[in-house]
Structures are given as structure tokens and as C-alpha cells.
Amino acid sequence: MKFHTKYLTFNTKRHREYINITSELEEASAESGVKEGLCLVSAMHITASVYVNDAEPGLIGDIDEWLEKLAPEGIDYRHHRTGETNGDAHLKNLLIHHQVIVPITNGSLDFGPWQQVYYAEFDGQRKKRIVIKIMGE
Amino acid sequence: MKFHTKYLTFNTKRHREYINITSELEEASAESGVKEGLCLVSAMHITASVYVNDAEPGLIGDIDEWLEKLAPEGIDYRHHRTGETNGDAHLKNLLIHHQVIVPITNGSLDFGPWQQVYYAEFDGQRKKRIVIKIMGE
Amino acid sequence: MKFHTKYLTFNTKRHREYINITSELEEASAESGVKEGLCLVSAMHITASVYVNDAEPGLIGDIDEWLEKLAPEGIDYRHHRTGETNGDAHLKNLLIHHQVIVPITNGSLDFGPWQQVYYAEFDGQRKKRIVIKIMGE
């Protein structure tokens, strides 16, 4: 069995930001030498997500607006009594999940036609990490 | 290690449709010969989901109505400026996630008493695929 | 390859309850002897979830209130025509997903600084289970 573990660090300029990490995953997959297996991509922070969807700027705007509608900023969350201000970012993380698994088949990430992997930052402007864990043969 | 990769293709009659794929997964699990391992089931399109829940028609109606309430069709999504009309389907996909993993224990999919796996189509009436990736011994 | 399968049973006092299971997962990981691999943690019932977030009581209150807002109890769900009363619990399960995977690196669960794993019960006061499946070397 082969294992390959890699961490990516982000420090976004904006408070919320959506970053296409598909090519970084393809690089990690190539480094692993795995021909058949699974590639886990998981946010290590609880105010960010990893999701699979389209690399279309309009859609990314829709996703951001929709997340803000269902889990809005600026509400008097109980969590803010600790001094934090990011209650909404925790809920956004739960709403679209913090991890995905991409199968590896014949040495490549086995994506459908439009699948791209995104890191979604909901409380940025500081260093945050994701872990990529590849396991296979 | 054993690996088994299988693709299922759907072409639904309706625009939105919920299809129980549990028996197809059991078949794929049996084909794999895996006694202990993991079975990933993942939509390859970004306007469909795979989820685990109950095979109860009333509940499926509730799920559909609830998805439509939280991520409605017919809104003027930015994504529609590309000519697409399926912005809601992308959001529904994100809301209930596009993949599940079923553990395999003693040669069987290790489900709880009511767990059934569904393919949820949010923009159908055309060919779309899921990938099943089984890995184990 | 090593495999380790473990079931945890919950019987909550309250109808909805959020239980930190991180130390139980660390125990299962240690028992497995796995140094590199994946740890799947998955609810076996369709009215409960497993999620990763903060061990902060205020935030847990926020999560509960938010889930109740987006998938409320006491609505006349179609599912209730079967005699059930837990339609909301099925939707809450779908909203925040029923499973997570924690990578294992150098013999430890590879968490970020604030990541804790929770079992979220949405229809409790009876016995319910989760499955932990560890696979690695």
C-alpha cells in the first residue's frame, strides 16, 4: 500500500473566498504513484469547506449569496459571547461539508466532466490548512 | 488489496427524481470479493447527489419539497447568464452532498436498520453517471 | 492491511443532543494499530448525524437553533402519515451529513487545531448506533 499525505496552506486576501484546488490535487495524486485508490481532501479548520462543483464565476457568486442567506453573518450568535465573530462561518462549514473523496482510477483522479474541487474560505485573512490523504496501490 | 470500480448511468424521465440504488451497490460489493473495506458512491455530475436515508415515498416527497424551499428553481441565478437554467440543481447538490461511503464488514455493506442509498437527480432527462469505488481485502 | 470495526451505542436523555465522541475515536484509532490510513465515522440511523466542529457550548446551541430553523419540527410532513413524527430529524440528518472521515497520520488522528467529532442525535431517547471503520497499515 502507498500513502501520501500533503498539507496546503491558504491565507486569503478576502474574508470569504473560493479557490480552485483541482490542479494541486492532480499534482498530489501524481506524486503518490497510486494507480487505484482514494484521495481524501479535508479542511482542517471548522470555518472553511472543501466541495466539488463548477468552475463558473457566476455560480460561485450564487453559492456565496446562498450560503449567506442560509447561514448569515452579523447575527447575534451565542458563539460570539466567547469574543468570536465567526458563528456564520461555522454554520456555512456544516452546510456544505468540510471534505470530499475523489477516487483514483488508472492513475488519475476519476472526475466527471465538470467536477472541480474548491477550497471555500469563510473566515480568512489568516493561515489555514487542508490535508490531502491518498491511499492505494 | 482488491479494487473494484463500476459506473452506473441514469437517464431519468423527470427533471428531478430519486432512485434507490441499494441493490446495485450490494451487487457491486459482491462482485468485488471484498470482505473488509470501504465502498465510495459518488455522483460524477454537479447537479445530482447521492445520499443515505429512508425508502419511504412520503419522506422522499418531503425531501424534494424541502430542497426546493432551501434552493429554489426559477430564481435569477448569476449562473443563468451562461445560458444554463439549473442554478438550483447545483445548490441542491451542495446542500445534501454528492457522495457517501458505506463500510464493508464480513463481506456485506454495513448498513443500519433503515439505511438505503439514493441517487438524487436534480437536472435529469439526460445521461448522467455515478462512480462506485470499492477498496479492501 | 489492518481493519478495525467498532460500534458505539447511544441512548440520549433528550430528544436532540450533541455528544463529543473525539476521545472514543482516539481510543479506536489506538486499538487499530494503524499508523497510516483512514477512519470512517458514520451514523447507522437516518435521524442522526456525525459532524466535525468546535467543542464550544454556545456554538452547539447555535447549531441546534439553526438546524431547527432550516428543518423545523412540528410541520405536517408527508412522512408523518406513516405514524412517524420525526420528519424534521431526517432532514437535519441530510443537512449536515451523517459521516466524516478522519485521516490517520503517524499513528494519530490528523485533526486541525479545533476539530472535534460530534454525534448529533435528532430523535433520541432510544438506542442508536454509529460505526467506526479504520483501514490502513
For residue range C59-115, list pLDDT tens digits in order. 999 999 999 999 999 999 999 999 999 999 999 999 999 999 999 999 999 999 999
Task: Enumerate the residues of chain B whose CB falls inside 8 A of the CB of residue C77.
Answer: 58-59, 62
Of C113, C137, C121, residue with least CA distance to C55: C113
Residue C56 is nearest to which of A5, A79, A131, comparing CB atoms?
A79
Residue carrying the nine cell digits 447575534: A76
pLDDT for residue B44:
98
Q: Could you tell me the pLDDT band of residue C26, with boundaries at 50, 70 and 90?
A: very high
pLDDT for residue A53:
98
Q: Could you tell me the pLDDT band of residue B24, with boundaries at 50, 70 and 90?
A: very high
Interface test with C, best of B63, B92, B99, B109 (most C CBs within 10 A): B63
In chain A, % of residues over pLDDT 70: 100
pLDDT for residue A5:
98
Extended strands (E) in B11-98 = 17-20, 37-43, 48-53
CA distance B101 to C97: 11
Q: To the nearest whole angstrom, how far is the Cα of C114 from the nearest Cα of chain B?
A: 23
Cβ B37 vs Cβ B134: under 8 Å = yes
CA distance B68 to A51: 21
Are C135 and B36 within 8 A, CB to CB?
yes
> Three-state SS across A2-57?
EEEEEEEEECCCCCCEEEECHHHHHHHHHHHCCCCEEEEEEECCCCEEEEEECCCH
Helix (H, G, I), strand (E, B) or coil at A132: strand
Helix (H, G, I), strand (E, B) or coil at B42: strand
Task: Say what the alpha-carbon torsion angle B88, A91, C15, B110 is, to the nearest 10 degrees.
Answer: 70
CA distance C93 to C70: 12
What does DSSP assign to residue B74? T
C43: nearest CA partner in chain B: B112
From residue C38, give the alpha-carbon distance in Å to each of C24, C35, C66, C136: 16, 10, 30, 6
pLDDT for residue A8:
98
Are A37 and B135 within 8 A, CB to CB?
yes
B97: nearest CA partner in chain A: A96
Phi and psi angles of residue C97, each rounded to the nearest 5 degrees, phi first: 70, 160
For residue range C27-62, list pLDDT tens digits in order. 999 999 999 999 999 999 999 999 999 999 999 999
CA distance A83 to A100: 31
Chains that touch C (3 or more CB pairs under 8 A): A, B
Task: Say what the alpha-carbon torsion angle C104, C105, C110, C113 is, to the nearest 10 degrees.
Answer: 170
Residue B129 is nearest to which of A95, A100, A112, comparing CB atoms?
A112
Cβ A137 vs Cβ B1: under 8 Å = yes
pLDDT for residue B55:
98
Could you report the predicted ipTM of this complex, rounded to two decimals?
A: 0.97
Angle of helix A87-96 relative to helix C57-70, nearest 10 degrees, comes to 50
In degrees, rounded to 5, the angle at the alpha carbon of residue A136 between the alpha carbons of residues A134 and B4 is 125
Cβ neighbors of C33 (< 8 A, separation 6 or more) are C2, C4
CB hemisphere CA count around A104 (13 angstroms): 27
Cβ C90 vs Cβ B62: under 8 Å = yes
Encode burial over C114-124: b for 16+ CB neighbours within 10 A, e otherwise: ebbbbbbbbbb
Q: Is A80 on the interface with C (CB under 8 A)?
A: yes
Cβ neighbors of B95 (< 8 A, separation 6 or more) are A95, A96, B67, B70, B71, C94, C95
C-alpha grid cell for residue A58? 457566476
Return the H-helix or E-strand segment holding A111: none
User: Could you tell me where the DSSP H helices lie in B71-110?
Assistant: 87-96
